[in-house]
Structure formats: C-alpha cells, structure tokens
Chain A
C-alpha cells in the first residue's frame, strides 16, 4: 500500500504538467489574447443601445515592429512550448507570474481569494457531513416513516433546484425585496471598522444566502448515499446475525453497519477538495463574492491567461491531493482494501 501511495504521489507532477501544458497551448491558439483585447477596448463602441461613444481611436494602423513589441510585452512573442517551459520554470520556483491585466502577482491574487473559498468550502463540508450523515442514519433507521418521507421531499426539492437558480431567487426576495440579508459581498463595506463580534456577525450575515446555495445540491446526495448504504448493510447477513446473537439494534447499527456504510462516503470525500478551492463561480457571481471561482471565471472571460493558469494549477493540485486523500480514507475505513 505504501508503494501505491508513493506511486500516486509521484504521478502528481507529470499529471500536472500534462494538464497545464494542454491548457497553456489552448490559450495560445484561441482568438482574442491581451493584445486584441487592448485594440478592441480602444476602438469598439459599447453595445448598450448605440449610445456611449467617446474615446475614438487614433487610427489602428500599427507598424509590424509595434505589433511585435506589444506581443513581447504580453509575453506572446515566443512559441507556445518555449513560453510554457519558461512558465513552468517560474512555477517550480514558486512564481505563478503576473496578471496580464492587473499587473498583480498571480499568487497574491489567488491567496487573497483562497480564504473566501476555504470559508465557504469548509463550512459547506462541515455542515454537509455534520447534518447529512446523522440525517442519513435517522432516515435509514426510520425508513418509510413520516420523518423519512418529509425529509426526502425537502432534500429532493432542494436537489432539483440548481444552486445558481436558488441564488437568483434569494438575491431578489430575502435580500433585495425583504431586506433580511445583504445582497452581495463577502463582508460589509465597513467591515474593517467593526469590533470583533460585529465582524463575526457581519461575516455570517453575508454567508447565509450563498451558503444555502452551496449546500442545497450536496444535501440530497450525501444523505441518500448514507441512508441507502446503511439500509443495505442493515439488511445484510452479518447484521442480522449479530442481532440474532443478541447484539442490541443500536449497537448493530452504530458498531457494525455504520462503519461499512461510511466507506462510500469516504470514497467521495476527496472530491470536496475541489469545491474547497474553486467554489462555484455562478454563486460567487450572483452574490459578488470575490472568491477563487469568480477569479477563474472572470480571468477566462478577460483572457488573463497567467491567472487562468494559476487557478488551474491550484485546483488541479487540490483535485489530485483530494483523490489521494479519498483513497487513504477508504483504506482507513475498510481494512479489506489493499491498494497495490
């Protein structure tokens, strides 16, 4: 098993190189790089109703040399593979480069937003597992009861509504119309002037609506995963044998069946690492939360490729590590599992 994990760890770098190389190459070939973006903003009229105007171009004809200089400024003057090796060399030294647009270090931009993603990812994780696992157990024990049916209706209704749709509704009604919660932001504009407890309140006041969107989808999945596997195990011979031998039902559930039912939960646990860092760009867009998901999304739209690559790298690392952790958890939960 040690060899298996060692192999998996050693596979991480080549996988990362493969993923980043492909995306890097794509960014070089898709139209609309930073140079074109610059020309476009200088020349094109705004589409909003044909109004606008102002800032007419001073003529678009540039010399070959000027165009080449601009390409060099944006780092587009070398073949993609040379540029990739250059990028990789800097990454190895811990430098993710500089944003094409904001001229800020990519690492600092990502680091600033990681805390937002960790906050929402962490809370989603805690609440999902903190609520869904016990709920799944209760639903399995009380299968077909009133409680089971009602909770099923609730979680299936939630599952049917995509998080971003719920977000759009929440932002209009509880936030804008009824004014129960703030419409946007991770914290208030005057957060830094608040006392500690005011800050805590403010943080969670802002988090209620987006968190609801994050949670709504994952609730049904984890709850039913837990419930169905527990039901399956409760019906298995070894549990029935244990009960027949005089083991109490409670002990049979919690000592015997529950452990085995946690294995599929553990298998999926690693996937949470991705949510942990990338969040949901749609939810972050709706609530104007400056997290990593939104950063990745806007940088793709704006063709800010150094950031695109940085976000890709970080999320890929987390995904690979997450898979590894998932495997480790399965091995821990199920002694029969032997990775080779």
Chain B
C-alpha cells in the first residue's frame, strides 16, 4: 500500500481500522474530489553541467574591477614552509554504532516561507535543514571541544597570523548535491554574491563589503585558496565557520534585482547530505528533506556516522498541544519538552506512554552562550537616567519568585550579561536579589522618600516612581505580572505594556521603551560581543538623540566604555580580551541598566523508544538533540514497540538526565 511506500505506516493501519467510516463518504459529489488535489510543484531545473551563466560573467568582470580583493595566483605563490593543520588529533563525536535509514517524522508550527537561504524570510526555523545544520563550510566548530574546529569542505588549513591570512586546502571530493564539484571559484563567487545587494539582506552586504570583515581572497588553484581578514583575532575561525561557504554559480545563473522572487522556491544545491525534492514541497502542509544515496562526506572523518535518517518529513501543525497529541500517537518521532508546562503537565513522568516505556524523556545539559534574557532599561528616559533608580529597580524585581511560579523553578536566575561564555564570563558577579529594604534605600537616594496614598513612592515635587515595562511575549505575561505585584511592596509602580511581538520590537528599535523584557540571539562564540549593545556608536545619532534600529537598548554611551570596547575588538591577546570582557561585565552590572532575568542550561526532549543516540546522548555544545545529526532509529525496535503496544505489553520507563556538561555558571 502507498502508505508503507511513503513510510506512513501508522496511517495504513488506521485507515484499515476505520473502514466503517468510509461509508459516510459515498454521498460525495464527483466534482468535490477536485477540491483536494495537491498540485505538484514545478521542479526547479537543476544544472549538472556546472557551467555558469550570465551571473558568472558579471562576477568575473567584478573580480577584474576589484583586483585588490580578488587575486589570482599560482600554486608556486603558496609559501613553501607552510604547516598544514587538519585537527586530526580531535576525537570524532558520532557513534560508530549508528545505523542509516528510516523516516523521521517531525513538525513545524508554520510552513517555511522560502527555500532561499538568504534574503527576506530566509532566517526561519527551517533554514537549519537547508544550510545551518545540514550544509557545510570550510571548517566547523567541534561540538565537544570548544574553540577547536574540524575540517569539512577543507582538508587542511594554515593560519598566517602576521599577514592575517588563512590558507585552505579544499577537499577535492566535495560536491554539491547535483554532482558538481565544489572548487575555489565557488568561494570567489560567494564574495561577489554577498557583496551585492540583490539578495536584499543589507546586514550581509555590510558584513562582506570589501575591507569590512574580509580584505582579500586568493585562488592558487582549483582546490587552494587563502582569505585575508581585517582583524586576526584569536577566534579567527569564527569568521569562517558560518560565513564562508561556496555558492554555486551554476545554480544562480541569473543574479539581479529579481533574485528573491526568482529563487523563492528553488533549492540551492547543497554540500550537505539532504536535499529538498520538488515533490516534497507541499505548500502549507508538509515539506521533507531526503538523504542522498551517495554523499561525498559519507566516509569523511567527523562527518561519517551522522545524518542517519533517509528522510525527514516536517508536517505543519499550527498548535503545540496538537503536535503533542500527534507525538503521543506515534505520528511524530520526537517532541521538544523544554517548556515546563509540557515536561511537567502535558507529558508528565506518570503519563501512560512514559510509564509503559514507549516514550523516553530526556534532559540534557549543554554548555553554550545563553540568550541574554533580562530587563533592559532605556537610560534616555526620565527616572531611568538616574543610577540609584536603576539599582533600586534591580532590587525591587522578584525575579526568583517569577521563575519559580511561571517556570516551575526549572529555569535558573541569570547573574550577568554574558552568561555561558566559560572563562570569559565574570562569575564573580551575582545578580541583585529581591530586597525591599535595599530597593527603598536606593530609591531614597534618588529622592523618592515618601509613599503616596496608593503606596507608590514619590519625590517631594510629586513625581511618582512609576515605570513602564514593555513585553511582547504572551508566555511572559504572568512573569511580568509577578514582578509588578512584588515591586509595589518596594514602592515601585510598574505599568505593564503588553504588545504583540512585532509592535514591541518596533518600540524597542525606535528606543521608545522605558523598560523591556527581551533577549537577543547569541552565537556559539568564544567571548561575548559588546559593540552592538554598549558602544556609543550604536546609542546616539550625531545630534545626540537615541539611535534607532540598533541593539543598544540601554542607550549606553560612555567614552571610557567605548575605549575599552574598541580595544577589545582590536585585541589579539586572549588574556587582554578576557580581562576587558570581565571588566565590562562588571561595569554593566554596576550600571544596572540591564537586569539579568533567567536562563536555561539544558534542553528536554521526548523520544519514541526506537530512537537511538550515542553514549552520553549529545555533544557538549548543542541547541537541540538533532543539531549534529548523530541520532538514528532502529527499525527492529520500532516494530517491537508497535507490536508490544498492540498486545498491551510494556517496557521499563526511561526518564534520564545527562548532566555531564552541567555548568554552574
């Protein structure tokens, strides 16, 4: 039956079971059948020739116009004494026991908006499966050894610190999914591609602009390149792990102002193992990625024994509760349970599926920088421009209680700005606790000495201690309400402004907020970035007004901080970087315009019994159980489980915590 063919076995049995229902359908009118037909998508024509189109010709002309950036050399120009590195001393992190095969059923809250990996709406949750997790760069960060990199599209590399240059020997085996070889030309084309603005992603245009981050790319032969960077920092590979990837010119034959529309639903040939087949794009309903039978990386060290599923099907389920029901039925193979209500209430340990041993519950601690969830205060606003008021507010917010009540104590109180950066985090900093006396003492220093009839503190001139708190997250509404209630005890009135996320974001971007509860994304990096958030360049316009569309939400503009941040950005000395990082975090704490709120140091997931994983479950640095593709499924265990379920047999329940990477920072 077609279900089995598609791997939809669960549907097959159910369909047979429901034969009695089918009689209802006989009243159907013939014409109605036409209503359900899902039209097949037009298959994007894939080039296997590897020949470039007009865009490549334009790129070549561009190279000629910018010889300072695009250099063509010969193998003889490579220094003879070069010492190639290949990280061969690093351990592999996938399990040799992993088995290939099976269809993984997954879900997404909304359908991907595009298959482009760049441009408007490309930065969606689905891009992981097109590029971020399933595509490769020259080197990839080793998930078990922070700060180390393993070769992916490169075989080896050499860093010339003096000339701020990195040489890459590319792996000649590497091909795109359409069979075309990945060569040095694709990296040159990438810089041309990104430096234009046709992709409509101005941040990328800025990042790749000549001289901004990278200053030169040199092709020595088809498989050897070097790239010069503006700042050769100790974490230099950060500039390569995400942002230097080959772009197939043979795919983007035309590259002009119609780029976003033209490539909206075409799959860019990938260097990774999974492709999106045209028939698997069922808009609004489901999308799937399919494993290549023969992938160039199958036997490559650090890539082998990974990406084990033959296919991964993503159903669109627009409601988390409904997705959980689908998971409990076995229609989905796993389900994220990090949210406390799901872990404790909706799939508790005593749930039948868990107690019967069909579904395993896993909690895995992971080390990585944490999103900076906190209360961000706008110092350009009255009252918040007063340091004593800010310190008082920090003492007046009962964040521990809010975490306990709303997150069931599962999340931890964050202590500082820059959590999860290992030795670059200032662990001496402890967040100010909820303390009414200290809060009132601080408010008194700011002139708020008497209580009004409603219990809110006032100055002699009648100014009330009343601050607005913007929230754009529905799931934080109870959280901010608890803060508001307890702050009143310290004489602080918090006026909660619940907005939808987009409106809240706009308000913050325009710097019209007073206080806001929010967080920014953070990459897995060696040390935190301060420039975006704390440099006066991002705080004020030349006229001295708060600068819109920047991340400096606190409007911090201190010359002495600027000097430190500039030095921090320019430094090549890890000790100096560490010293400045710790000092800046201390200053941020003292400044009290950012109140750290909460963090999670783990993720939780429910897995059906047939899912298998390496010893220790996952890697030291990971966002989710599937990020590095090291899991697999066992079809025999699946059959055993399904048959046991039919017969009512049970297994030992598995509720496991892996805390080998539990850091206490």
User: Given the complex of chains A and B, what is the CA–CA distance between A43 and B339 in angstroms?
Assistant: 22
- Measured between C-beta atoms, what is the minimum distance from B42 to chain A in Å? 12
Are B28's CB and A50's CB within 8 A? no
The contact string, 1 if C-beta is below 8 Å from chain B, for chain A 285-301, is 11010100000001000
Are B123's CB and A70's CB within 8 A? no
A44 interface residue, CB < 8 Å from B?
A: yes
Contact among B34, B315, B339, B521 with A53 in the assembled complex (CB-CB below 8 Å): B521
- Measured between C-beta atoms, what is the minimum distance from B572 to chain A in Å? 21
Of residues 14 through 45 on chain B, the ones whose CB sits less than 8 Å from some CB of chain A are 14, 17-18, 21-22, 24-28, 30, 32-40
**Binding-face segment, B303-311, B454-462, B495-503, B632-640:** B495-503
A69 / chain B contacts, CB cutoff of 8 Å? 197, 202
A202 interface residue, CB < 8 Å from B?
A: yes
Of residues 100 through 123 on chain A, the ones whose CB sits less than 8 Å from some CB of chain B are 100-104, 112, 115-116, 118-119
B316 / chain A contacts, CB cutoff of 8 Å? 288
B: interface residue count bin: 35 or more
- Measured between C-beta atoms, what is the minimum distance from B421 to chain A in Å? 12
Are B475's CB and A44's CB within 8 A? no
B430 interface residue, CB < 8 Å from A?
A: no
Are B549's CB and A103's CB within 8 A? no
A137 interface residue, CB < 8 Å from B?
A: no
- Measured between C-beta atoms, what is the minimum distance from B290 to chain A in Å? 15
User: Given the complex of chains A and B, what is the CA–CA distance between A271 and B14 in angstroms?
Assistant: 39
B524 interface residue, CB < 8 Å from A?
A: yes
A42 / chain B contacts, CB cutoff of 8 Å? 123, 203
B505 / chain A contacts, CB cutoff of 8 Å? 32, 36, 39-40, 44
Q: Beyond A41-B121, A199-B33, A204-B24, is A70–B202 a contact (Cβ under 8 Å)? A: yes
Contact among B28, B120, B501, B522 with A204 in the assembled complex (CB-CB below 8 Å): B28
A203 / chain B contacts, CB cutoff of 8 Å? 25, 28, 32-33, 35-36
User: Given the complex of chains A and B, what is the CA–CA distance between A326 and B38 in angstroms?
Assistant: 34
- Measured between C-beta atoms, what is the minimum distance from B267 to chain A in Å? 15
Are B524's CB and A54's CB within 8 A? yes
Are B35's CB and A204's CB within 8 A? no
User: Given the complex of chains A and B, what is the CA–CA distance between A54 and B241 in angstroms?
Assistant: 13
Are B264's CB and A103's CB within 8 A? yes
Are A31's CB and B507's CB within 8 A? yes
**Binding-face segment, A148-156, A182-190, A224-232, A254-262:** A182-190
A10 interface residue, CB < 8 Å from B?
A: no
- Measured between C-beta atoms, what is the minimum distance from A273 to chain B in Å? 18
- Measured between C-beta atoms, what is the minimum distance from A175 to chain B in Å? 8
**Binding-face segment, A55-63, A84-92, A213-221, A308-316:** A55-63
User: Given the complex of chains A and B, what is the CA–CA distance between A184 and B284 in angstroms?
Assistant: 12
| Number of interface residues, chain A, beta carbon within 8 A | 81
- Measured between C-beta atoms, what is the minimum distance from B322 to chain A in Å? 6
Are A192's CB and B338's CB within 8 A? no
A37 / chain B contacts, CB cutoff of 8 Å? 502
Residue in chain B with minimal CB distance to A104: B264
B520 interface residue, CB < 8 Å from A?
A: yes
A180 interface residue, CB < 8 Å from B?
A: yes
Of residues 476 through 513 on chain B, the ones whose CB sits less than 8 Å from some CB of chain A are 476, 500-503, 505-507, 509
B370 / chain A contacts, CB cutoff of 8 Å? 50, 53
Are A189's CB and B285's CB within 8 A? yes
B196 interface residue, CB < 8 Å from A?
A: no
Of residues 92 through 133 on chain B, the ones whose CB sits less than 8 Å from some CB of chain A are 110, 113-114, 120-121, 123-124, 132
Of residues 214 through 233 on chain B, the ones whose CB sits less than 8 Å from some CB of chain A are none
Residue in chain B with minimal CB distance to A36: B506
User: Given the complex of chains A and B, what is the CA–CA distance between A37 and B501 in angstroms?
Assistant: 10
User: Given the complex of chains A and B, what is the CA–CA distance between A42 and B123 in angstroms?
Assistant: 7
Contact among A40, A187, A193 with B36 in the assembled complex (CB-CB below 8 Å): A187
Are A59's CB and B206's CB within 8 A? yes
Of residues 310 through 329 on chain B, the ones whose CB sits less than 8 Å from some CB of chain A are 315-319, 322, 325-326, 328-329
A267 interface residue, CB < 8 Å from B?
A: no
Residue in chain B with minimal CB distance to A190: B2
Are A191's CB and B264's CB within 8 A? no
- Measured between C-beta atoms, what is the minimum distance from A203 to chain B in Å? 5
Are B264's CB and A193's CB within 8 A? no
Are B317's CB and A56's CB within 8 A? no
User: Given the complex of chains A and B, what is the CA–CA distance between A193 and B8 in angstroms?
Assistant: 13
Are B506's CB and A31's CB within 8 A? yes
Q: Beyond A40-B505, A189-B285, is A53–B11 a contact (Cβ under 8 Å)? A: no
A140 interface residue, CB < 8 Å from B?
A: no
Of residues 35 through 70 on chain B, the ones whose CB sits less than 8 Å from some CB of chain A are 35-40
B123 / chain A contacts, CB cutoff of 8 Å? 41-42, 55
Are A56's CB and B206's CB within 8 A? no
A337 interface residue, CB < 8 Å from B?
A: no
A184 / chain B contacts, CB cutoff of 8 Å? 317, 322
Are A55's CB and B523's CB within 8 A? yes
Residue in chain A with minimal CB distance to B127: A55
Are A196's CB and B33's CB within 8 A? yes
User: Given the complex of chains A and B, what is the CA–CA distance between A290 and B315 in angstroms?
Assistant: 13
Residue in chain A with minimal CB distance to B242: A55
- Measured between C-beta atoms, what is the minimum distance from A212 to chain B in Å? 12
- Measured between C-beta atoms, what is the minimum distance from A201 to chain B in Å? 4
B345 interface residue, CB < 8 Å from A?
A: no
User: Given the complex of chains A and B, what is the CA–CA distance between A285 and B316 in angstroms?
Assistant: 11
User: Given the complex of chains A and B, what is the CA–CA distance between A31 and B500 in angstroms?
Assistant: 10
Are B21's CB and A180's CB within 8 A? yes
- Measured between C-beta atoms, what is the minimum distance from A215 to chain B in Å? 14
Are B114's CB and A102's CB within 8 A? yes
B449 interface residue, CB < 8 Å from A?
A: no
User: Given the complex of chains A and B, what is the CA–CA distance between A66 and B207 in angstroms?
Assistant: 13
The contact string, 1 if C-beta is below 8 Å from chain B, for chain A 232-252, is 000000000000000000000
Are A103's CB and B261's CB within 8 A? yes
**Binding-face segment, B185-193, B438-446, B560-568, B597-605:** B597-605
A285 / chain B contacts, CB cutoff of 8 Å? 318-319
B653 interface residue, CB < 8 Å from A?
A: no
Q: Beyond A53-B368, A184-B317, is A45–B373 a contact (Cβ under 8 Å)? A: yes
User: Given the complex of chains A and B, what is the CA–CA distance between A215 and B618 in angstroms?
Assistant: 49
User: Given the complex of chains A and B, what is the CA–CA distance between A62 and B200 in angstroms?
Assistant: 12
- Measured between C-beta atoms, what is the minimum distance from A240 to chain B in Å? 41
User: Given the complex of chains A and B, what is the CA–CA distance between A202 and B473 in angstroms?
Assistant: 39
The contact string, 1 if C-beta is below 8 Å from chain A, for chain B 466-479, is 00000001011000
Contact among B36, B121, B373, B500 with A199 in the assembled complex (CB-CB below 8 Å): B36
23 intermolecular pairs with C-beta atoms under 8 Å apart: A36-B506, A41-B123, A42-B123, A45-B519, A48-B475, A50-B370, A51-B371, A51-B623, A53-B623, A56-B525, A60-B550, A61-B550, A62-B549, A176-B322, A181-B21, A186-B35, A186-B36, A189-B8, A203-B32, A204-B28, A205-B24, A288-B322, A298-B110
- Excluding A45-B372, A203-B36, 5 further A-B contacts by CB distance (< 8 Å) are A40-B501, A45-B519, A101-B114, A103-B261, A184-B317
3 A-B pairs closest in CB distance? A32-B502, A45-B371, A204-B25
